[in-house]
Amino acid sequence: MVAFLFPGQGAQSVGMCKDIHDTYPEAREAFETASRVLGYSMEDLCFSGPEEKLKDTRYTQPALLAASIAVLRVLEANEIMPDACAGHSLGEYSALVAAGMIPYEDALRLVARRGELMAESDPEGRGGMAAVMGLSPEQISEVIKAAAKGRSLEAANFNCPGQIVISGDKDAVADAESFANDAGATNFVTLQVSGPFHSSLMKPAAESFAADLAAASFVEGHARVVSNVTAAWHEPKQTVDLLKKQIYSSVRWEDSIRFLVANGVDAFIEVGPGKVLRGLMRRIDKSLACQGSGDLESLEKILSQGR
């Protein structure tokens, strides 16, 4: 069984998937659809930048969706289809498209709105995030308890063994570094992000997004999708609530991968730009096979192998 994995924010780069766009009409159509739906040139944004604009979450989110679906369309045209899908944060929308649970055009509108609301959620820049290496979830919990002092500070991403992202008030995130070091952290990296994503500070954005989600139509797909929030299967009747909660809840990525394996998945393809998810996969279980597809050489290697 094969699972398609879709990247989230941080995987973007100027020029991403241009060689695939230039080679395959299916990929070009995915970019053209994004341009038509969103009212600006997705090709210019992804291929020419500037980098600062591509890093703005209002543009990052639809750009990564478009790039991922461009790759997906080439795989589909060659009859390479997933048995299951998962996406890291924003990537969950790509996964829902890939599984046939929501039309691509609707997903584009949703992620564009999601990006706007998340950008507006912290206009004063009070929030921040940091990746902490080398500590267990229990140790992270103690670090958070020691550093928070009444401020917002939470575990945002359980990415893989020894890598957990924290999110909340910027000052609390900064104060957590000394407590993390005292607990034996091997590294503490402040992330260059535009808000305290996957923390309770995002709840106002989630509440505003609820109406957009409720207006969307989610259906049974041809493949199943793992929820970031539960690390279990999406059900169409629960998807609106899960995607609302996803904005302020922890991304349970390690648990999601283990859930897929427990349900029979034994091969993975990272669909879209970058190699973040393959890096996490090696930390979760080195025995798991995960191929990339975000550049022409990698994609054509998969196509030559077939299903």
17-39: per-residue pLDDT in tens? 999 999 999 999 999 999 999 99
Is 94 among the catalytic positions?
Answer: no
> How far apart, in Å, are the Cα atoms of 264 and each of 83, 240, 284?
10, 26, 16
**pLDDT one-digit tens code per residue, 178-222:** 999 999 999 999 997 878 999 999 999 999 999 999 999 899 999
Phi, psi of 154 (to 5 degrees): -145, 160
Return all residues near 98 (Cβ < 8 A) that are at least 6 apart.
Answer: 4, 6, 69, 72, 82, 85, 223, 271
Closest C-alpha among 52, 50, 46 to residue 17? 46
How far apart, in whole angstroms, are the C-alpha atoms of residue 27 and residue 307? 20
pLDDT of amino acid 97 = 98
C-alpha 36: how far from chain center? 23
Is 89 among the catalytic positions?
Answer: yes
Burial class (CB within 10 angstroms; exposed 0-12, middle 13-18, buried 19+) of 174: middle
Q: Tens-digit pLDDT profile for the chain (307 aa)?
A: 999 999 999 899 999 999 999 999 999 999 999 999 999 999 999 999 999 999 999 999 999 999 999 999 999 999 999 999 999 999 999 999 999 999 999 999 999 999 999 999 887 788 999 999 999 999 999 999 999 999 999 999 999 999 999 999 999 999 999 999 999 999 999 997 878 999 999 999 999 999 999 999 899 999 999 999 999 999 889 999 999 999 999 999 999 999 999 999 999 999 999 999 999 999 999 999 999 999 999 999 999 987 5
pLDDT of amino acid 124 = 79
Closest C-alpha among 164, 173, 180, 178 to residue 196? 173
Closest C-alpha among 177, 179, 169, 168 to residue 142? 179
Closest C-alpha among 82, 4, 75 to residue 300? 75
pLDDT of amino acid 181 = 98
**pTM attached to this predicted model:** 0.96
Sheet containing strand 84-87, edge to edge, reads 224-225, 84-87, 2-6, 267-270, 289-292
Looking at 21, 88, 198, 234, which residue is catalytic? 198
pLDDT of amino acid 161 = 96
Looking at 68, 89, 94, 199, which residue is catalytic? 89
